[in-house]
Amino acid sequence: PRSTLFPYTTSSDLSRPHRRQKPKMPTLRISITACNIKKLDVKFYNIERPRCWVNVKMGEQTYTTKVGIGLDPEWEETTEFTVEDPATQKVEGTFYVKCEKNGNEQQLGDMQTFALNKLLKGKQTFKGLVVPGGKADMMFTALDFGDDEPEEDDDAFMDFL
C-alpha cells in the first residue's frame, strides 16, 4: 500500500532510515597456531610447570590466546583486526609464560613488531614470534589489502652478462 504523504515510498521504506555506509576498512586475519619453547632454560626462568600465551596488539585492538599447558602448546586461534593504514601500521606480538607451581609470571623475550606493508592480498604469510628457547607460530592474512603479486626483483644488474 502506498502512503498518500509519500506516494513513491512504502511503509517498509519508512521503517528503515537511510544510513550512509561507512567505507569498509581493510581487515587483517591473524592465526596463532602453536609454539615450541622446549629449549628454554626452565631453571634460569624459575619455571616448573609452564603455562604459555601470546598477546597480539595493533593500536587499540588486542587479542590474547587461551593459556596453553607445557612448553609446546597448540592454540589454533584466529582473530581479525581492522587496519587503518597498512603502509605504516604494525602488529605487536608478546609472549608470556607463567609457572603454575609458584605463580611466577613473566614476559618471555622482547615484544616484537610485524609490518603489514609487504603482505600479499589473500595469501597467508608466516610470522614467527621468536622467544628464548623457541618461537610461537602465527599466520597473517591481508583479507582485502596488499599487493596481488609479490614485487619483482630487479635483475637489471644481470643485463651486462
The whole-angstrom separation of Cα 129 and Cα 65 is 14
Question: What is the model's pLDDT at position 36?
Answer: 95
pTM listed for this prediction: 0.78
What cell numbers appear for 117 in the block?
A: 606493508
Q: 28-37, 39-48, 128-137: lowest mean pLDDT where?
A: 39-48
- CB under 8 Å to 42, separation ≥6 — which residues? 48, 50, 71
Q: Answer yes or no: is pLDDT of 92 > 90.
A: yes
pLDDT higher than 70, residue 104: yes
Other Cβ atoms closer than 10 A to 64: 15
Q: Copy the grid coordinates of residue 137.
A: 607460530
CA distance 60 to 14: 37
Q: Which amino acid is at 150?
A: P
Structure confidence at residue 25 (pLDDT): 85
